[in-house]
Amino acid sequence: MNINQQAQKLLELVNKKNQEKHSKFISIASGKGGVGKTNFAVNLSYILANKFEKKVLLIDADMGMADVHVILNLKPQNNLKALLSGKKPQDIVVNTKGFDVLPGFSGIDTLDDLEDFMMMKIINDLTDFSKDYDFVIIDTAAGIDNKVISFIRASSRSFVITTPEPPAMMDAYALMKSIYKIYNYTNFKLVINMCKNKNEALFTYDRLNNSFRRFVNKNIEMAGWIPYSQTLNRAIKSKKLISEVFPSDDFTRAVTAIASKEVGEEYEFDGDGNFWKKLMSFLKKE
């Protein structure tokens, strides 16, 4: 069997699989780097699992600079790359602080260099593995790389993180605009991070929403805002997870408020069960 036939086979296999339980797939994205995606993704996972008793899988899909395990102070034996050499997700998953993590990998093998066939193999393995989770949170790389766009398009929700700084706002807008323009995808929710206060957050949201509405004729929802937190930086330095050790810090409370909305909200399930199928088909077309 040549590689194209094998790829076709994998595609058919994933298409046959059913996500029986409807997991909610949330990708965490941003235009600009360093705006707080990974810290948000990790703490959101912790809070969904521990405060709301959900079964959560966090996937580190930032394969250029994977650092979910760094924030969680884990030293994983394996990572997603091991799926390519025959390991199973069960062999690489790490259970920590009440939720499961699939660690990513960094270095020269960025996601871009991964052949579509290899991505398909990873997707095939994860289709079965992820189906029992209530939430699958996907931490992505900054920017509008094709693979990141595929993760976003396949997700039923994409949290776009920005700070109130104009470059971060412009890049968040550019990310949403280009994905809408090419693919008509609008399931974005904005998270305004590192704010001085609520007014600054609302001002940032209004500006972005107005620009988006002028272009798309639709509002983007605000998932919530998160204050700038010195405590977060202290927690990171002492290798602790802020939401675990400082449950009443404003950062933790802000992420809890965002998590509570997701728990309460019913998604349209049309697409949700099909996350991996969609991801597979988006990759195939590129």
Q: Of 37 and 147, which has the nearer Cβ to Mg ion?
A: 37
The Cα angle at residue 201 between residues 200 and 206, in degrees rounded to 5: 100
Q: Of 37 and 278, which has the nearer Cβ to Mg ion?
A: 37
Cα gap 10→12, rounded to integer Å: 5
Residues 6+ apart with CB under 8 A from 191: 40, 159, 160, 161, 162, 222, 223, 224, 225, 226, 258
The token duo for 282 is 């988006």
Overall residue count recorded for the chain in this entry: 286
Looking at residue 163, its amino acid is T
Part in contact with ligand ATP (CB under 6 A); list of ranges 4-12, 72-80, 166-174, 224-232: 224-232
For residue 69, state whether it binds ligand ATP (rule: CB under 6 A).
no
**Range 162-181, binding ligand ATP (CB under 6 A):** none
Cβ distance 28 to 281 under 8 Å?
no
Q: Which option in Mg ion, ligand ATP, none does residue 30 bind, with CB closer than 5 to 8 A by kind?
A: ligand ATP
Q: Of 60 and 134, which has the nearer Cβ to Mg ion?
A: 60
For residue 72, state whether it binds ligand ATP (rule: CB under 6 A).
no
The sign of the torsion formed by the CA atoms of 200, 184, 24, 136 equals negative
Smallest separation (angstroms) from ligand ATP to the CB of 124? 26
Q: Of 35 and 149, which has the nearer Cβ to ligand ATP?
A: 35
For residue 98, state whether it binds ligand ATP (rule: CB under 6 A).
no
For residue 39, state whether it binds Mg ion (rule: CB under 5 A).
no
Q: Contact with ligand ATP (CB under 6 A): which of 119, 190, 201, 226?
A: 226
For residue 251, state whether it binds ligand ATP (rule: CB under 6 A).
yes
Q: Which option in ligand ATP, Mg ion, none does residue 82 bind, with CB closer than 5 to 8 A by kind?
A: none
Q: Contact with ligand ATP (CB under 6 A): which of 30, 79, 124, 127?
A: 30
Q: How far is CA 193 from CA 38, 65, 79, in A?
A: 12, 20, 29
Cα gap 139→205, rounded to integer Å: 22
Query: Any idea what DSSP says for residue 224?
Result: E
Give contact residues for ligand ATP (rule: CB under 6 A).
30, 33-39, 62, 65, 142, 193-194, 226, 228-229, 232-233, 236, 251
